[in-house]
Chains A and B, each alone.
Chain A
Amino acid sequence: MLLAVVQPWPEGKQPTDAVLMERILQRDTGALEALYDRYGRLVYSLVLRIAQHPSSAEEIVQDVFLQVWRSADRFQISRGPLEPWLFTMARNRALDFLRLKREKQRRREDSDSDIVPSAVVRPDPEGDIDQGRRAEKIRALMTSLPETQRRAIELAFFEGMSHSEIAAATGEPLGTVKSWIRGGLLRLRESLGEASS
């Protein structure tokens, strides 16, 4: 397969995610480099947090960006922005790795749960809100949560645990775990609402 020849974007102007994905569809490797420069660090941070193993995290990140390159045609900007699509794919792949590792440890062959990324909708147009501002909000929110509540949300997001699995892992009653998570998510919603206002 030959790489397509595409025009570079004007100097000083940062292309939107949609433009980069369009360029990737045209087999423009420079667009993938730009996409990696934009999201590589975030995706690596997320995957490393889940996989807890640098070399495995590198493999997963490589796999994620290769998947973006190969499956760019499956991304539709009309169905939502790129960032959550990328994060969801990275999270699912890292959780998949984690589950596989646990399965091997338990010597079980049961398959894991759904790893198909679903459509996401962001309430505001792409690029309207500064990514860094949202990241700061999220980090500030997590820091402000009580330790037990933060731990419960981390177990859910970074380790893919359900309510009852978190209850078993923390030794807390199921109702308490549900209450922590519900409260934490409510504050997340409020925080992101403030960030977008």
Chain B
Amino acid sequence: MNCEQLAALYEEYALGVLEGEERAELEAHLAKSGDKCVAGVAEARWMVSQLAHAAPDTQPPAALRGRIMDAVKTSADPARAVVPLEKPKSSTQGAIFPAWAWVAAAALALITGYTIRQMNNQNDQLAQLRKEMKLATLQNQALQNQLDMDRMVAMVMMSPDSTPLKLMPKDKNMPMVHAYLHPHMGVAITADQMPSIPSARTLQLWFVPKNGKPVSAAIFHADALGQIAFVAPVTLPRNEIAALAVTDEPAGGSPQPTTPIAWMAQVN
């Protein structure tokens, strides 16, 4: 099939219904074709995403917004997440009583004071428990996210369609970065013993095309253990990619590399 004939399949490809020979033929075509066809698929993806509007309009629960913001604020600054519980306020009343009444009142005050202290202790314990629960939930969420990412990385790494690549460092003191390039699932990047970089800087992954300027694939940092494991989407046809490269860029990344290549691998 030629370019025009295959262009009719872009939307079906973006929708995810294409399979078998049709899908393979389209992907092979995309790998060979130029920017026009790739842009056509990207436009089809936008168009298909608009089908989201076909979902029945449903108002989310009002509490959801608050839960999201609580989770975000907690993840941004754990100290802010601790919502102090209101402590019960004790009140006193003055009156004229006989002596026995004073004794009874004193006893009652003692009991009340003890009860209030117990309540305060319980409130403190409750607040502490809530704080621990929130932290545990966040940790669980972070672990789940990490697990999801690790799972994606593993899927890409183990796929027979992935091409393993070694990004060699320009600085021999730096570790090697491994890449697994899959034509559809993305490129998985892994590394150990990566150096920490200042917060004002970031590492940026680039697809270097055979013709044209590098295309940004992702910005990333090593974690506290110096490890990297993530999957970035492949935004160029597989056959158009001449190399993968990593540069050191200002935080937020750059439209084009602004520093020399720090790691690179040729893609055959």
Contact = CB atoms under 8 A, between A and B. Distances in A.
Interface of A: 1-3, 25, 27, 29, 32-33, 36-37, 40-42, 44-46, 48-50, 54, 58, 61-63, 65-67, 69-70, 73-74, 76, 78-81, 83-84, 87-88, 90-91, 111, 113-123, 134-135, 138-139, 142, 153-154, 156-158, 160-164, 166, 178, 181-182, 185-186, 188-189, 192
B15 A139 contact: no
Interface string B56-99: 11111100110111011101110010000000000000000000
Nearest to B71: A66
B55 A120 contact: no
A46 B233 contact: no
B17 A118 contact: no
A139 B52 CA distance: 10
Interface in B138-191: 141, 145, 151-152, 155, 184-186
A157 B46 contact: no
A123 B42 CA distance: 10
B175 to A, nearest CB: 23
Contacts, number: 193
B60 A73 contact: no
A116 B60 contact: no
Given A73-B219, A84-B45, A121-B45, A134 B231 contact: no
A120 B49 CA distance: 9
A158 B50 contact: no
B62 to A, nearest CB: 11
23 contacts: A3-B73, A3-B76, A29-B69, A41-B60, A44-B58, A45-B57, A49-B55, A58-B60, A73-B251, A78-B255, A79-B216, A79-B235, A90-B52, A116-B186, A120-B42, A121-B43, A139-B54, A157-B48, A161-B17, A181-B12, A182-B12, A185-B48, A188-B48
A87 B49 contact: yes
Contacts of A58: 60-61, 64, 67
Nearest to B55: A49
Nearest to B218: A74
Chain A interface, >50% SS class: helix
Contacts of B55: 42, 45-46, 48-50, 158
A62 B51 contact: no
B214 to A, nearest CB: 13
B248 interface: no
B46 A84 contact: yes
B51 A138 contact: yes
B69 A32 contact: yes
B51 to A, nearest CB: 5
Given A33-B65, A58-B61, A157 B15 contact: yes
A116 B51 contact: no
Nearest to A115: B152
B47 interface: yes
Nearest to B49: A84
Given A42-B53, A118-B233, 13 more contacts: A58-B61, A62-B64, A66-B68, A66-B75, A76-B253, A80-B42, A90-B52, A111-B151, A120-B43, A121-B39, A134-B50, A135-B53, A156-B17
